[in-house]
Amino acid sequence: MITREADYCIRTILHLSRPEQRKHPVPVDELSRQMTIPAPFLRKILAKLINADLVHSHRGRNGGLTIKGEPEQISLLEILQVADGKGLLLNQCLESEGVCTHQGTCTVHDAMKKLQNVMENHLKAITFDQLI
């Protein structure tokens, strides 16, 4: 399930990827208003996007936010992973070794692993230039 935080991250990158938004920095309060994202929550996700080097924060009177790089270089999977380190995990047994007590005997694990790989590859192939 995509969390609200992941949804806000996706919407923020999508908004900043639009050609008309790339011309000048978008102030945080304007972004919050346009995207109907509460300002405190927006600041929290912006910190993650800035730390992931996906968004640049410009200071000063004409400051605001711009997307770093090109929308065709940013995948949906990357944003989901920024929002939640697990990305979009189908089952906790796929997270790491030793999480599941049935590891090694579960007949569903391999099928889930294959499905997880298909989903991740598909999300990796979807870039923000396609979503604009």
50 in any annotated domain: yes
25 in any annotated domain: yes
Q: For position 74, which CATH number holds?
A: 1.10.10.10
Closest Cα to residue 7, out of 86, 92, 79, 73?
79
106 in any annotated domain: no
Q: Give the model confidence (pLDDT) of 72-114 as tens digits.
A: 999 999 999 999 877 688 887 877 777 777 777 888 888 888 9
Q: 121: part of which helix (H) or strand (E)?
A: helix 109-125
Work out the number of other CB atoms within 10 angstroms of the CB of residue 66: 16
26 in any annotated domain: yes
The predicted pLDDT at position 113 comes to 87
Domain count of the fold of the chain: 1
61 in any annotated domain: yes
Q: Give the model confidence (pLDDT) of 41-80 as tens digits.
A: 999 999 999 999 999 999 988 889 999 989 999 999 999 9
Backbone region of residue 4 per phi and psi (left: phi > 0; alpha: psi in -120 to 50; beta: other values): alpha
46 in any annotated domain: yes
**Interatomic CA distance for residues 117 and 98, integer angstroms:** 20
55 forms bridges with which residues in the sheet? 67
**Interatomic CA distance for residues 112 and 107, integer angstroms:** 10
17 in any annotated domain: yes
- Token reading at 89: 């995990």
54 in any annotated domain: yes
Output the pTM of the full model.
Answer: 0.87
Domain of 22, in residue numbers: 4-89+127-131
What are the backbone dihedrals phi and psi of residue 81, each rounded to the nearest 5 degrees, phi first? -70, -30
